[in-house]
Chain A
Amino acid sequence: MKIKRNGWVGLAWLSPTLLFVSVFVLWPMVHLVWLSFTSTSLLGGGEWVGFKNYTTAFNDPKFWAAFRFTLLYTVILTPILMGLGFALALLVSPNTPLRRVTRTVTFLPVVIGLASSSLLWFWLFDQQVGLFNRLLVDLNILSQPLVWFRKVDTAMIAVIISVTWKVVGFGMILIMAGIQSIPSDLFEAARIDGASLWLRVRRIILPLALRSILMATVLSVIGSMLAFDQFYLMTGGGPRGKTFTSVYWIYQNSFVRFDLGYGAALSVILMLVIMAMTALQLTLQSRGKA
């Protein structure tokens, strides 16, 4: 049997999506790349400068400091999110009423804005009125309220606590979907085989939910590499500019110093780095499967 191919009909079916992608993804990206080769200012004006923004970027110690800080944040946060997300997913994947409630409650923070949650936690960490400080003091973990945002370490811890609260439910839901897609008779067979919880997790759940775990990891890494709101609202980049993230530094250049062209170049560099990291993760994933 011969199938008649009609390319134009296919294109017509795709056109709404193509139009949407062109207007809202492709065009901004092309515009961004173009901007990065100019000295455009937020106040208008500017001219073609070739690779000047890029050479500046590679010699900008503040940008690379921000980049390293973002990387550190990602490297600390991702295992916490994935480990906790996996543990929670294990806990809530059976469909019992109490577990469904736990699932919903854990997922709730995911649907509120990151800005709102950052503000909420900013006040919870406050040294005078913060309930979190109060709790730690009452539990005798701290002797007196801590000024969380005066030091880089404690500021990082505070942001990580707040972000974990905010997004751990997202990884949990993705991983839970992976666990729930494992046929229940495999678990019954494992029960008959006498597998302990640890053996079931290690030999059955982890390998069979691996795809969802890796997907959650990729999304979580991308999210962390793009961190902005939480630092903007909680640390303001301080103390002494030590908690600027990459995106925060891009924001500083584009909207505080009005240097849109330079900001665009930094954005392009960050985009390429994240694309490379994602490609690497996905390659590792497909190799791990083979």
Chain B
Amino acid sequence: MFYWSVKSLLVEKWSVLTAACGIALALLLALYLDAVFRGEAGQIVTFIERTPGDVWVLQDGISDLHMARSRLNENAIYAVRQVEGVAGVTRFLYRDSLIGPNGQEKLAYVVGIPSAPEARSAWERATGWTAPTPGHVVLPAPMARAQNLQPGDRVRVGDESFILSGVSRGTYSMANPLIFLDETDARNLFDMGDGANVLLVFARPDTSPSDLAARINREVEKASALAPQALRHNDFNLAMKMGGALIGVLEVMGLAVAGLIVIFTAFVFSSNHQREFAIAKALGAPTKQLAGSALAQTAVVSFLGIVIGALVTYPLEAGLHHWVPGIAVSFSSMTVLVLGTATLGLALLSALLPLRYVLSVDPMLVFQG
């Protein structure tokens, strides 16, 4: 029976393939949106991933860089320095600002890179990004391209004007592009005489980063210390959560489309094969086996669709990076797995509808010419 049902599918390989591609497309639709948000979130956290340091210190009560509300005053910074096991700290300015010509401003996060030469070069080595010198700005590559800016062109950030000195890669997201200024310029721009927004703490070799974070949290009242992974995790999830409702709706829509395609295919297939089911019934095929073979057919088509969808995902990711560099997409194997399973489950559920039709086929059809 199973052999027969699979063979029947092979005979109609084109309609099977069309249906499978439809399912693949529906799956990709849902996956793609998830990938866009994942890609965006990934770009948002690259700064955290690449910037060297063992412990991030933010203002007390803040555990992510979103909206950049963190502010640490000199007392707090001094207190952090005094904690046992701290080898050194680097201060970063990190705040949101408007960028671009009047009337066309975009929101961006401005990072003030430390002016001290050792801190700068350590940061440049670790990140691979060039730090801007005073009077200069570094923009994400897609942003510079979108505004048609060349190095040497003037760029408005807030109320000031800077010269574009270079571009960075991996820091562009549609919601949160990250741009870099020299610390002094950033202080002037934000009117911030002292203090910092973010501290990066280096631990002594004999102190583990997690112990150090715990110690800072205990000893410094106005600071919140986090391991880099924890901060990255918080920011990533926050970014995903902002897209969550939209992703959810599109995923449900994708699944619904996949379900409809399955119902339609299974329905067309079972009505095309009505006579064959009647023959099998007349020859004594038990109802259970007939149901099983109809379900197996649906399962094979859906599985094929899911495999096609999953296989297309990775080349698609590479293609999108190449053709549409402005949109960061990052497909997640976990999402492929979860959505793939959901699609398969839904497909089998949808197959129950035409199944009733298969089971009610009249074996007396075999006597008709």
Chains A and B are bound partners? no
